[in-house]
């Protein structure tokens, strides 16, 4: 079963996010209080699998959820293999739609400065908030395709 491991946010862009344990996702906007939330584009929420973070740990890097600036860290689901348009139901109410897989990495990000590499460009995914609500560590994630 796939689940949420961490809910992370930051007040500024370009820095690591802090695990806040639970937060509110606003429809068409993103995580309330996060610098990357914006109703004007398709990357309202970012997700990264704990399994991806574990790969970096096995290479000797001291990294944790939020270090890659992801809003939601998941476990038990290979996010970057899901097609664009896949719906993720999280907890009781939240529905996200995968809108982008990977991204162009910018060398100025905190994790790139620390490690010299970043997994978000290939393994991170982005989503739009279709239905908002509370999201918390331990919430179940279910995959639906359109």
Domain layout of the chain by residue ranges:
2-144
Cβ atoms of 132 and 25 closer than 8 Å: yes
Tens digits of per-residue pLDDT, 106-131? 555 565 556 555 666 678 899 999 99
User: What pLDDT shows up at residue 143?
Assistant: 96
Dihedral, 130, 29, 78, 100 alpha carbons, nearest 10 = 100
Backbone angles phi, psi at 53, to 5 degrees: -65, -40
On whether the CB atoms of residues 116 and 8 are closer than 8 A, the answer is: no
| Beta strand pairing call for 94-101 and 87-90 | antiparallel
Spatial strand order in the sheet of 30-31: 30-31, 22-26, 133-136
- pLDDT at residue 146 in the model: 56
Residue 108 pLDDT: 56
Q: So what's the pLDDT on residue 114?
A: 60
User: Taking the model in full, what pTM does it have?
Assistant: 0.89
Residue 84 carries which DSSP code? T
Give the residues of the chain that fall short of pLDDT 50.
none
Q: Which residue has the tokens 């997700």?
A: 47
- Whole-angstrom CA distances from 23 to 4, 12, 37, 118 are 12, 17, 13, 25
Bridge partners of residue 42, in order along the sequence: none
pLDDT of residue 2: 97
Is 2-144 assigned to CATH 2.40.33.20? yes
Q: Which two tokens stand for residue 103?
A: 């991204």
Q: What is the pLDDT of residue 102?
A: 79
pLDDT at residue 113, rounded to an integer: 56
């Amino acid at each position: 079963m796939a689940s949420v491991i961490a809910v992370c946010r930051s007040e500024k862009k370009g820095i690591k996010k802090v695990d806040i344990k639970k937060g509110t996702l606003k429809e068409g906007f993103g995580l309330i209080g996060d610098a990357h939330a914006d109703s004007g584009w398709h990357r309202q929420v970012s997700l990264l699998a704990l399994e991806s973070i574990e790969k970096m740990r096995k290479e000797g890097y001291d990294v944790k959820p939020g270090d890659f600036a992801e809003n939601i860290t998941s476990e038990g689901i290979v996010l970057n293999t899901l097609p664009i348009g896949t719906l993720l139901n999280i907890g009781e109410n939240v529905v996200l739609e995968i809108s982008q897989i990977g991204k162009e990495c910018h060398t100025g990000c905190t994790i790139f400065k620390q490690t010299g590499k970043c997994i978000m460009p290939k393994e991170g995914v982005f989503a739009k908030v279709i239905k908002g609500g509370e999201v918390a560590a331990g919430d179940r994630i279910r995959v639906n395709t359109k």
